[in-house]
Structure 1
């Protein structure tokens, strides 16, 4: 989650990425650019053809097209090559870059790894220097199809550490440690007994269609590009839940409480109770703790545990004393949990403003996790918190600052947190909603990290807003696509399907709702897609306003893509209402999601209209 205004990097970065990709794929190859296109005389193989699509002497853009000329499907691909001194690859799209220069490797992202017979896929990259590639290989064989990978007779090692990461009455989620191979592992087959149940390219999978309250045995085998298969992993036995059990998800309602709300907004923990919201919530995420010097640190000590509350502002009507060991919002949360014993509280770290420290944390994940556990379980407030929520905006991508810690950094960080916090605490993460090809969800290993989290909170809002001051006007939290959407793929369902494609169990995903609107001024068009002159005025920041204000000031005049919009005078706003939230909760249930969450509590009405709609919609 972020402080209001923090989502704009998704839209800007996504738009730029799509624009670059479109330019690259449509550009003609440079006439003199070398290529390693396969010869028609070669035997059937997986091949790769790479060429410069533009070249300006000191730099270039390149494109590689992988083609499956065999008669069988391919699950995963890997292109590798060398570059001469003075030439390097920087940005990459539609692939994950690895290797150590001058040797580079490029592997598929989640959505483009499977190639049917005769199918092809491309990725692009930007480079500096005058040179070009040598020693090109694809899946271990020469890119022109000669010499392999059929010549590879060495099988991968057996995957290790097979374990169950979740189960319902009809599904089991599994994860394992990657196998190794002399050329490269291209995929894994999951076996239910002697029957192949799933084939994936990553190190996790969910087997569905199972019978309630039944014991199953699973193993996993690794494959390489030549078709060599590893020995089976050790078996794991899992018994599905009883029939009708929805597993760990289904009805979660999680709300963020912003620590700074106690100041100008005058929103305190007591308001969660008096609005009726506490009785409808399952979890509260307290935002934010800071991340500094690779460690979890206090965000605002005064708001967190120093502010003295009088009787009128206190949850239980009892005033703080000058000498009590804990005051502030932490003490009020303790009182709220006493009044609502089933309510859980997590401490969220990072956010838009305080994500800059995660890169340093990723350099030593164990030390970071240790600092977080010590802070969350400080004896003064250990009973207040039930776990930790990480809001890193964004791993291996750009938010307020740009992170270059690599695609594995997020997975490593979450692994360290799970190891330190153990199974008795919750470990969750708010993550990007950019499901575009090569976007933020492809920049980090969210699929691999899923085994370590209890659930993800994809921030399915702030897709569009008045950071694009002239428009076009667009709903900031569309559930589905619609004609002339400014950036194709910027909608909630695309996010959810993208995450599911990474083999993340549906019940580990929550749908995000914004308790606020985003708006423009200088607008004449009633529907979306109009031009504007700038952001509409807001109480605390231009271009954004709470639902509790907008419902009366600028009532809805239409709906698009499962959310509302409003035209009042020259202003145009988009926001969710109880009615559109009801529709989104129906979507969440239909997708088998773990529930829903929202940013943030102070945006709702004093009687909790929006959270009531969430609770009612999820049941």
Structure 2
């Protein structure tokens, strides 16, 4: 989500500089009573995700482990988690972290990494000895991926899963069934009934085969299952979510207040508001601008209720205005959003202790002064295990762990949501974190399907910042809404948990000589608050749309080229969202709309 300043929606996958990592100690004494097996869990052509699993097969505790292997020239590790990995030429060494080196008899531990190239590991050693049945034996390949499971006999508490068999040169021994990325069963057949589930809850299932040498192959595709019962929540089969972000700082230069939601007519056409942004400091949720949040006094004509604030009333500011709005429109739910582009650097420390972070967030939201205002929490981490304003190295599982802790702390009575990347490029930001696994803990994701292109690329090429679909000449593959939604579905996120993002603003260049997309430029066009960006309410008259591309609008006026959504293109996007079975739509942010709320109206009518 944009916060005062904004750069690109997301580009390169995080690469860890292995040359700068601390060197490893010498391999420990050979331990032939342990195995190390390799599996390629994802493959996107030019790169892949790999996983090593170390298992103690002996009867004494293993105090540490070091795995070594060789890659052919052109194949390398680019980032890793849950192990310290270094290289010497084509020889790679991985040593346990301080917290996962001890393995009791029968226990196992895995570490993963992203790699480039197409080669396979060879000459595997574990603690200086043989890896004992690892994939280094060319005569014993790992099994193939099973077929994507199909779900049947779904009840409030159970689901039956079936899948087509995997293949292996020496034979498949059994299958691991994974629910939300965690193994829940090992079976010898190609079906399994999972029980003890929660009614009205979404789960993601995959399957992984094991051969007779206990090697695991790649995981299958994911199937998303929602159990029956449990009532109907917005975004999971009931009314479509129509959510807008209200910015805390908008009450200053933008002079946009909660009452504007009433006067514009928007309040009667939305279901949810995300209040942005709370800060993340020292691993905890905190209120950012306390004056705007709960101290600023409103006169009678400025307030939603028409009653002036007094000097001694317990709560003023935006929080009190939201309270008054909810009294007037009881259907509206309000979530407190933490993070954003500027404040996401604090999530790394939060991810180190998710339970403490979740507890701090709940204490903010349940502060007695405004405990009735907020109905949930929204997390806007830009971006887990990838780069935004700063680069995060918390690991692929950090986001899932954070969302699990929030759901555990807040329970089922609160909404728990997250704004997430829409970078669907191969090996991009969607691939950097476990959004599929984390989806089990959220009510929905706000997929930020905007800011794909903009004048941070000063010379262009000109391109729409929020394309619905790809088009001939698009500057980067995977940078469009349809690809992002498809990729998230493929990772096991239910359609009903995905909201399509709409920007109530345009991005533009100047020095452009052609009207069609793909032109060159000399820099960002002038904007009211920031170069290269302007509100819809300004652009609709200053530079009216002259064409459409990829399901969104663009405008060429003078030497300026802008892209933005109009009521017509929003209508197209809402039809698409309904056809995809999405949970609804959200937008950034209210103050960019016209005074009569025409973009909110387009979302409302398009989803109705």
Residue 491 (structure 1) aligned with residue 491 (structure 2): no
Q: Give the SS at the match of 2:343.
A: coil
Q: TM-score, normalized by length of structure 2? A: 0.74
**Distance (whole Å) between structure 2 residues aligned to residue 237 and residue 357 of structure 1:** 33
User: Is the CA contact (8 Å cut-off) linking 2:204 and 2:437 kept in structure 1?
Assistant: no
User: Is the CA contact (8 Å cut-off) linking 2:276 and 2:336 kept in structure 1?
Assistant: yes
Q: Give the SS at the match of 2:318.
A: helix
Residue 2 (structure 1) aligned with residue 21 (structure 2): no
Match of 1:214 in 2: none
User: Is the CA contact (8 Å cut-off) linking 1:82 and 1:133 kept in structure 2?
Assistant: no
CA root-mean-square deviation? 4.1
The 3 A distance-change label for structure 1 pair 10 and 140 is farther
The 3 A distance-change label for structure 1 pair 140 and 472 is farther
Q: Give the SS at the match of 1:331.
A: helix
Within the candidate set 229, 232, 243, 1:254 is matched to 243
Match of 2:139 in 1: 146
**Distance (whole Å) between structure 2 residues aligned to residue 188 and residue 577 of structure 1:** 53
The 3 A distance-change label for structure 1 pair 485 and 402 is same
Residue 544 (structure 1) aligned with residue 496 (structure 2): no
- Count matched residues: 501
Q: Displacement of 1:140 after TM fit? A: 6.0
Q: Displacement of 1:436 after TM fit? A: 1.1
Gapped runs of 5+ residues in structure 2? 16-37, 55-65, 86-92, 96-109, 144-153, 160-177, 196-201, 217-224
Match of 2:342 in 1: 353
**Distance (whole Å) between structure 1 residues aligned to residue 226 and residue 420 of structure 2:** 31
For 1:550-579, what per-residue CA distance to the aligned partner results, in whole angstroms no more than 9, with x for missing partners? 000000000000000000000000000000
**Distance (whole Å) between structure 1 residues aligned to residue 311 and residue 189 of structure 2:** 61
Within the candidate set 161, 176, 183, 1:179 is matched to 183
**Distance (whole Å) between structure 2 residues aligned to residue 237 and residue 559 of structure 1:** 37
**Distance (whole Å) between structure 2 residues aligned to residue 237 and residue 618 of structure 1:** 22
Matches for 1:538-617 after TM superposition, within 5 Å: 538-617=527-606
Match of 1:103 in 2: 94
Residue 441 (structure 1) aligned with residue 430 (structure 2): yes
**Distance (whole Å) between structure 1 residues aligned to residue 396 and residue 502 of structure 2:** 27
Q: Displacement of 1:8 after TM fit? A: 1.2
Matches for 1:455-494 after TM superposition, within 5 Å: 455-494=444-483
User: Is the CA contact (8 Å cut-off) linking 1:186 and 1:223 kept in structure 2?
Assistant: no
Q: TM-score, normalized by length of structure 1? A: 0.73
**Distance (whole Å) between structure 2 residues aligned to residue 555 and residue 64 of structure 1:** 43
**Distance (whole Å) between structure 2 residues aligned to residue 395 and residue 2 of structure 1:** 16
For 1:287-339, what per-residue CA distance to the aligned partner results, in whole angstroms no more than 9, with x for missing partners? 00000000001110011001000011100111000000000000000000000
Match of 1:115 in 2: none
**Distance (whole Å) between structure 2 residues aligned to residue 227 and residue 551 of structure 1:** 65
**Distance (whole Å) between structure 2 residues aligned to residue 542 and residue 385 of structure 1:** 34
Q: Give the SS at the match of 1:355.
A: helix
Q: Displacement of 1:442 after TM fit? A: 0.9
**Distance (whole Å) between structure 1 residues aligned to residue 187 and residue 591 of structure 2:** 48
For 1:176-217, what per-residue CA distance to the aligned partner results, in whole angstroms no more than 9, with x for missing partners? 572389xxx9999664699xxxxxxxx9437xxxxxxxxxxx
The 3 A distance-change label for structure 1 pair 602 and 329 is same
Matches for 1:201-600 after TM superposition, within 5 Å: 204-205=203-204, 223-226=209-212, 238-239=227-228, 247-249=236-238, 251-600=240-589
**Distance (whole Å) between structure 2 residues aligned to residue 517 and residue 90 of structure 1:** 41
**Distance (whole Å) between structure 2 residues aligned to residue 146 and residue 593 of structure 1:** 47
**Distance (whole Å) between structure 1 residues aligned to residue 132 and residue 564 of structure 2:** 48
The 3 A distance-change label for structure 1 pair 297 and 142 is same
Q: Displacement of 1:371 after TM fit? A: 0.4
**Distance (whole Å) between structure 1 residues aligned to residue 591 and residue 366 of structure 2:** 27
The 3 A distance-change label for structure 1 pair 497 and 138 is farther
For 1:221-267, what per-residue CA distance to the aligned partner results, in whole angstroms no more than 9, with x for missing partners? 7642459799xxxxx99546999x98445511000000010000000
Q: Displacement of 1:506 after TM fit? A: 0.3
User: Is the CA contact (8 Å cut-off) linking 1:249 and 1:508 kept in structure 2?
Assistant: no
Q: Displacement of 1:369 after TM fit? A: 0.4
Match of 2:172 in 1: none
For 1:145-198, what per-residue CA distance to the aligned partner results, in whole angstroms no more than 9, with x for missing partners? 235658xxxxxxxxxxx997999xxxxxx94572389xxx9999664699xxxx
The 3 A distance-change label for structure 1 pair 189 and 571 is farther
The 3 A distance-change label for structure 1 pair 91 and 455 is farther
Q: Give the SS at the match of 2:361.
A: helix
**Distance (whole Å) between structure 2 residues aligned to residue 177 and residue 568 of structure 1:** 50
The 3 A distance-change label for structure 1 pair 176 and 430 is closer
The 3 A distance-change label for structure 1 pair 64 and 285 is closer
